[in-house]
Amino acid sequence: MWWEQDGHLEVRQNQLYIAGFSAEAFAKQYGTPLYVYNGNRVIENFRAVKEAFSEFKARPRIHFAMKANSHIAILKLLEREGAFIDAVSPAEVQIALKAGFPREKILFTGTSVSTPELKALAKLGITINIDSFSQMQRLRDLGFKGDISIRWNPGIGAGLHSHTITAGKFIKFGIPEHKIESAFLQAKAFGFNLVGLHQHIGSGWLGKDVDAFLETVGKTIAIAVKAEELTGKKLKFVDFGGGPGIRYRMEQAGFPLKKYAKGIVEKMNSSGLKAEIAIEPGRFIVGDAGIFLCEINTVEEKNIPVIGVNAGFNDLVRPAFYGSYHEIVVCSNVNGRQKKQYMVAGNLCESSDVFNESREALRELPTPNEGGILAILNAGAYGFAMASNYNSRLLPACVLLLDGRSYLIRERQSLDELIKSERES
């Protein structure tokens, strides 16, 4: 199978193994629905990014985009590897601190940030990435005198879905190009310590988008030079954001990490800037390290063949929300010859609750048995992170596999936990 990887995902005697563990036996041990993360794969992916830049004699600040996966156990793995953090909410900042990241390695980048949130962030002593003039003004009113960077919108976006594109005209993020110089001057007038410039064009782009990305790298470097001229200060870093994607389909090529790293390093070296390179990968580091396991409860011919499972888009929303493709594997019969086109249906009261790309996009799968286990691959990024309690369903458990051992890193939510914040009239 195209997704097999030694030591990570393997097919043995027609059964799926994750980091050496039988997926089906593992699901029955911990129960389902269940997120499983291969911690060694997370480390391997992080090191691949670092090594790609090392080849060009660069040591970037690798800010893990923790919105992709904010489990403390995974954050601790990355902290030990030397990662920085890209946090997008005050709670993410607090979680990163709890995971052991020092304040100086956390960059907060938010949008439509409220004044109470800004007040809380100002007390935490982390660098705040400014997204708007309003945010800058309100920070000044709070008496903030700390380190800031400024997020600008380079006008070019890219992403695997329109919802994940974060630069361009009809986008809420960042300071537009025609206002960016005014932002630098305002930051200087307010007495802020401008230490960085930031861009982020979108999430999940692959090889065809790298050239467009590198065009924005050039634009951002030119703006960084202008920032230093206008403020009379040297920047500590230029942050080119995140976005590198992963293979979700067989026909997709892997992300061209070498081309990406080389393009950034060469453009920075030719600019004369002494600032550090910063990047914000999230999906690339954790995406293929996560597998979602669920139990088959129904195999039935309706108007179409249906496989019903004990999970829904409350657990993994990407197919319903983005029309995303995830490989689906029958764990005990991976390469079965008797196949049929199935709708893989969730247990929510919603017609969009399917794990196919849509209701009409049926998936050819080996005929499964009720009580068996399905694995949904590439679920490590924006899987559990986007889970909800819709239909009053409980959040799933999460397990980390590391060095041949398994660890429960998040317990399955209980009904008492679900309703503990409710108050009777």
- 3-class DSSP state for residue 18? strand
Q: Is 283 annotated as a binding residue?
A: yes
Nearest to 290 by CA among 387, 165, 417: 387
Q: Which residue has the tokens 């703006």?
A: 223
Distance of CA 374 to the CA centre of its chain: 23
Does residue 398 have an active-site annotation?
Answer: no
Residue 234 φ then ψ, to 5°:
-85, 140
* Residue ranges with strand state E in 13-146: 15-18, 21-22, 34-38, 61-65, 84-87, 106-109, 127-130
Sign of the dihedral defined by the CA atoms of residues 418, 422, 424, 425, in that order: negative
Helix (H) or strand (E) holding 343: strand 339-345
Interior angle at CA 32, CA 31 and CA 36, nearest 5? 95
Is 248 annotated to bind a ligand? Reply is no
Query: Would you call 53 helix, strand, or coil by DSSP?
Result: helix
Residue 322 marked as a ligand binder: yes
- Please name the residues in contact with 189: beta carbons below 8 A apart, sequence gap of 6 or more: none
Q: What order do you get walking across the sheet with 21-22 strand by strand?
A: 9-12, 15-18, 21-22
User: Residue 229 annotated as binding?
Assistant: no
Distance CA 81, CA 172 (A): 33
Residue 27 burial by Cβ neighbours in a 10 Å radius (0-12, 13-18, 19+):
buried
Query: Is 242 annotated among the ligand-binding residues?
Result: no
Using CA atoms, how far apart are residues 181 and 227, in angstroms rounded to an integer?
7
Catalytic residues: 349
Known binding site for substrate: residues? 283, 318, 322, 350, 382
Known binding site: residues? 243, 280-283, 318, 322, 350, 382
Known binding site for pyridoxal 5'-phosphate: residues? 243, 280-283, 382
